[in-house]
Amino acid sequence: MKSIRNSWLGLVLLALSTAASPEALDYSAFKTNDEENNIEVFKLASPSVVNITNSKFVRSFYSLNPQEVPQGSGTGIIWSDEGYIVTNYHVVQEANRVEVTLSDGSTYDATAVGLEPSKDIAVIKIDAPKDKLVPVILGDSSLLEVGRKVVAIGNPFGLDTTMTVGVVSALGREIDSLTRRKIQDVIQTDAAINPGNSGGPLLNSLGQLVGVNTAIYSPSGGSAGIGFAIPVNTVKSIVPELIAYGKVQTPVLDIAPIPQADYYRELWGINGVIILNVFENSLPAQLGMRGLTRNRSGIVLGDVIVEVEGMVISNEDDLLTVMERHQPGDVVNVVTRRDNQTLEYEIELKQPRSP
């Protein structure tokens, strides 16, 4: 075994014993490569991290006058020097007022630009000078591997610009969004994520954004070493649409699924998307696709979508997942079941209809 004098710890103890004063030590000489990397990542990325607070107007019980009541806080990421900031949808949900505090302490009112509850992503905007806005560097979440180091920066419990370090614990997780749709390909990490970290960056060792922290699994409400982040590749695909349109432009088949679909699937013992009706003069209608009809005996089942582009469709979530992979104008193969027959349609996807 090597002598302690020849080890790193031995050198530290020797330096401490021989130094005339603490000021005489060069502490930077004792930083490990990993510590140096942590410091560099924090210096590079922290100016891109903001603190978000939101409030709601509530009518006073006594005076009936509206009062501004704080709802909570979270974290955001500067997306561009035009003032666009990415955060979680649940951070700004139902807020009447949103304030953003930059790393230099300056505060700005923010306006909502685009919301995507099913992915728990929101884009807000502030009117701040460009020289105060440091956009985050975007990475590629497809390059992540289990065991890779990741860094989280956020504002847990109101403690601003807090950094934690961990690894990628797992990939390809699924979590429920507020709309009960599944968010897919979620990153699991053991970097400590607590309330207030929501909407903050998950970074790789190059200081690049690889995920947006969104949730924790915790029986106690604090970090239990299981945190989740939406992969940056998902975020990159939807943020431009949120900025341009205010919502994600998921293409449609020009059909309306039946409401309370889970109930009817169980009642009728079928899997797939039950079509309530097919829009008049649409391509599916011209091709003969049918929704529910009535006769003297009651409701007659029409087409049930069971496959799109080779992917088995069990419910509406599956159908939306396939639609999100395409653009309006794409032609997709749709397989349905009707009257114990299998039918196939080639359908051109359309822009979503205005509400």
What positions carry a catalytic annotation? Answer: 90, 120, 198
Residue 55 vs residues 70, 106, 192: alpha-carbon distances, Å: 4, 18, 26
- Please name the amino acid found at residue 43: K
Q: CA-based diameter of the chain, in Å?
A: 100
Q: Residue type for 72, please? A: G
| C-alpha neighbours within 13 Å on the C-beta side of residue 295 | 4
Residue written as token pair 């009817």: 264
Using a 10 angstrom Cβ sphere, with 0-12 exposed, 13-18 middle and 19 or more buried, the burial of residue 49 is: buried
- Helix, strand, coil proportions of the chain in percent (round to 5)? 25, 40, 35
Tokens of 12: 């530290």
Asked whether the CA dihedral 197, 203, 209, 211 is positive or negative, the reply is negative
Question: DSSP strand E in 3-156: where?
Answer: 49-59, 66-78, 84-87, 97-101, 107-116, 121-126, 149-154
d(CA 185, CA 268): 32
Q: CB-based contacts of 27: which residues, under 8 Å, 6+ apart? A: none
